Amino acid sequence: MFKWLHPLAKPETLYHFCRLCYPWLMAAALLLLALGNIWGLAFTPPDYQQGDSYRIIHLHVPSAIMSMGTYSAMAIAAFTALVWQVKTAQWAALALAPIGAVYTAIALLTGMAWGKPMWGTWWVWDARLTSELILLFLYLGVIALSGAFSDRQTGAKAASLLAVVGVINLPIIHFSVEWWNTLHQGASITKFARPSIDASMLWPLLISILAFKVLMLALLCLRLRTAILVNEQHRPWVKALAGER
């Protein structure tokens, strides 16, 4: 594993690796998104209680899962950057922050749109909603902190440290529906038992989740490439790359 990963710590290798992966990942993400959403929105049976409005689940649940997944990926990258001083891991952490922030915003907005017909209100101060909102603030904090220093390197390190500290919020979000008795329903897929959702609805949902995950990886490749070019702009290989085009 380390033998395979180690060359990728070198910016030039990582740049070419990302360039190679990006088109495949993006194509797969678009395909899966189309498949999952068209199947979920048009061809699944309506819910016996919620009718057709439950279909927003195909946007809400994947973005909510990936808002936390992206945060853990960012925190792992940040931790790697802090402990083993891997520069590329630091750039990856910063590249992930805006992606995660947008996923969190999508989860919150689709949740509000779902809450209005079902609970009769756009927003309640419920444990899960509040902790997801805190997650958005944490993402914004990481982004703001990385841009607040005149020295880019210091900003990146400080933001990595904050990302690691903010991990404390992840278990709070995940278990908020179990610890507090809330309006938001409990987990129906991510639990150690049979999922409490019918198979005809589950499959398109799983495809959507996978699609959001692959989309995150594709966007990460794109943003990481840009970050590598910006940070290594004085290196000969970047100059050669810019010269050849």
Partner 1 sequence: MVTLGCFIKRELRLLARQKADWLNPVLFFVIVLTLFPLGVGPEPNLLRLMAPGVVWIAALLSVLLAAERLFKDDYRNGVIEQLVAARQPLLSFVLAKLITNWLSTGLPLVLLSPLVALLLNVDSAAFAALALTLLLGTPLLSLLSVLGAALTVSADKGGILLALLILPLYIPLLIFASAAVEAASMAMPYQGQLAIMLAMLLFALALVPMAVQSALKLNVS
User: Where along the sequence are the contacts to partner 1 (CB under 8 A)?
Assistant: 82, 130, 134, 137-138, 140-141, 144-145, 148-151, 154-155, 157-158, 161-162, 164-166, 168-169, 172
Shortest distance, position 177 Cβ to partner 1, whole Å? 15
Whether residue 58 contacts residue 36, with contact meaning beta carbons closer than 8 Å, is answered with yes
Q: Measured from the CB atom, is 169 or 188 closer to partner 1?
A: 169
Q: What is the DSSP string of 130-184?
A: HHHHHHHHHHHHHHHHHTSSSSHHHHHHHHHHHHHHGGGHHHHHHHHHHHS--SS
Q: CA–CA separation, 189 vs 207, rounded Å?
A: 13
Q: Measured from the CB atom, is 141 or 195 closer to partner 1?
A: 141
Shortest distance, position 119 Cβ to partner 1, whole Å? 21
| Residue at 98: amino acid letter | P
Q: Measured from the CB atom, is 151 or 244 closer to partner 1?
A: 151
For residues 117-152, b (16+ Cβ closer than 10 Å) or e, as one string?
Answer: eeeeeeeeebbbbbbbeebbebbebbbebbeeeeee
Q: Measured from the CB atom, is 17 or 79 closer to partner 1?
A: 79
Shortest distance, position 144 Cβ to partner 1, whole Å? 6
Shortest distance, position 87 Cβ to partner 1, whole Å? 14
